[in-house]
Amino acid sequence: MRLIVAAVQAAPVYLNLAASLAKAERLIAEAAAKGARLVVFPETWLPGYPAWLDCCRDVNLWDSPAVKQVYRRLVENSVVVPGPETAALGAAARAHGVVLSMCVNERVLAGPGRGTLYNTLLLFGADGQLVQQRRKLLPTYTERLIWGQGNGQGLEAHDTAAGRIGGLICWEHWMPPARQRLHESGEDIHVAVWPQLKEMNLVASRHYAFEGRCFVVACGAIMRAAELPPELEPIPGLAQNPEAFVLRGGSVIIGPDGTVLAGPVYDEEVILTAEIDLGDLLAERLTLDVAGHYARPDVFGSRET
């Protein structure tokens, strides 16, 4: 099966859920108009990755009124799953006949975890149904100030109209057991979401494609210093240059032999596309299949555990 996949490299309207959702709907339509059957957005695109954790001063100060105000705005503009925003995203996927991967700040309203935010990867089928809701296993470093730990539920590939699709969030790509579990679930296309793709993030994405013998759509976002929360003071250099890029994108589409098919693109908003042939997966697994003939469960343990 041949199909076009798309990485949407863009900036949301930071900390504004309604405006960001409206922009997402426009971008989904644009990607579909380019022929895309799979559309991927960056890490926590709704309502934006909290780059202020690393790009602003004194965010770790105890009981800081400014930081608490920013966190409150983030919570108020985060996504309830299921909720009106997931209904709108599902409707957009259905209207344009695309499989949609959207990563969000998830807000829990009731039950266990009430009051906690999660970094959550959502996957919608081309029929608009939500087929995956998976929370990031372990927030990285400063992210632990605002996100809870995921439980691993849904860490597997799912059948869609665009093939079997799985995904990891950012530094989960350096968690070998997470990678192997997805490899064993039989991915055709892997979604790799990042705030941006620095050099090592690109290395990790290409390595994942080669190791898993799958296509990878790696997606990063765009953000300028002027879009950081006004309540907080930017680190030196950014305050004097509001047009400086905080997040540079770097989105890329990679083949199952690790070859870059499109990108990486930096410092601009773009819908990056590539046509792929899922038949190529069979050819590449001749030499390496870490879930098949290159697996050694007799040495490393049962794949059922």
Helix (H, G, I), strand (E, B) or coil at 185: coil
43 is annotated as an active-site residue: yes
Per-residue confidence band for 305, with pLDDT thresholds at 50, 70 and 90: very low
Contact (CB, 8 A) for 46 and 108: no
Residue-range domains of the chain with CATH: 2-300 (3.60.110.10)
Neighbours of 259 (CB within 10 A): 10
Q: How high is the mean pLDDT of the chain?
A: 94
Q: Name the most confidently modeled range: 145-149, 272-276, 290-294, 295-299.
A: 272-276
32 φ, ψ (degrees, to nearest 5): -65, -35
Q: Is 118 exposed, middle or buried (0-12, 13-18, 19+ CB in 10 A)?
A: buried
| 207: pLDDT strictly greater than 80 | yes
Helix (H, G, I), strand (E, B) or coil at 190: strand
Residue 200 is predicted with a pLDDT of: 97
**Residues in Cβ contact with 63 at an 8 Å cutoff, skipping those fewer than 6 apart:** none
| 302: pLDDT strictly greater than 80 | no
Residue 36 is predicted with a pLDDT of: 98
Per-residue confidence band for 303, with pLDDT thresholds at 50, 70 and 90: low
- Tens of pLDDT, residues 110-165: 777 677 899 999 999 999 999 999 999 999 999 999 999 998 888 999 999 999 99
Residues facing residue 262 across a β-bridge: 253
Residues facing residue 79 across a β-bridge: 106
| 4: pLDDT strictly greater than 90 | yes
- Tens of pLDDT, residues 63-118: 999 999 999 999 999 999 999 999 999 999 999 999 999 999 999 987 776 778 99
- Tens of pLDDT, residues 234-253: 988 887 888 999 999 999 99
Q: What number of residues does the chain have?
A: 305
Number of separate helices (H) and strands (E) present in the chain: 8, 13
Which of the following is catalytic: 25, 43, 227, 233? 43
- Tens of pLDDT, residues 250-270: 999 999 999 999 999 999 999
Q: Which two tokens stand for residue 180?
A: 């192997």
Give 112-117 contacts, CB < 8 A, sequence gap 24+.
Answer: 113/148, 116/147, 116/148, 117/74, 117/75, 117/78, 117/146, 117/147, 117/148
Residues facing residue 107 across a β-bridge: 117
Helix (H, G, I), strand (E, B) or coil at 129: coil
